[in-house]
Amino acid sequence: MSNEQIANCIIQQLGGFGKLSAMISASQYIYGITDNNENFLQFKFKGSKKYNKIVITLTQMDTYTLQFYKLTKDYNFTPLVTKTDIYCDELIECFTSVTGLDLFL
């Protein structure tokens, strides 16, 4: 699979572009490969006072690592919360439990 296909797969596992846009105003999608040769997807979102950016990395063990950030106006950010060993069917639940934001009605 290409990087773009993997990124699109992650987005579909989160409910798709439509739901992400409607529910959390997701924007600025970026995908690529980490230094460890793992695919990642990152995007900004609105609605949470604690977090506004997420990086989702597909590990070589076929699980996900989710890193939640608060991007400030001076573009200073460090991961505030990191969740590891998340399976694809746990992505929405993990996102909701950390941010308090629902990805579906």
How much is the pLDDT for 61? 94
pLDDT per residue of the chain (105 residues) written in tens, 0 to 9: 888 999 999 999 999 999 999 999 999 999 999 998 999 999 999 999 999 999 999 999 999 999 999 988 787 777 799 999 999 999 999 999 999 999 987
CB 23 within 8 A of CB 103: yes
Among residues 41, 24, 42, 26, which one has the least CA distance to residue 103? 24
Other CB atoms within 10 Å distance of the CB of residue 54: 23
Q: Report the predicted TM-score, pTM, of the whole model to 2 decimal places.
A: 0.92
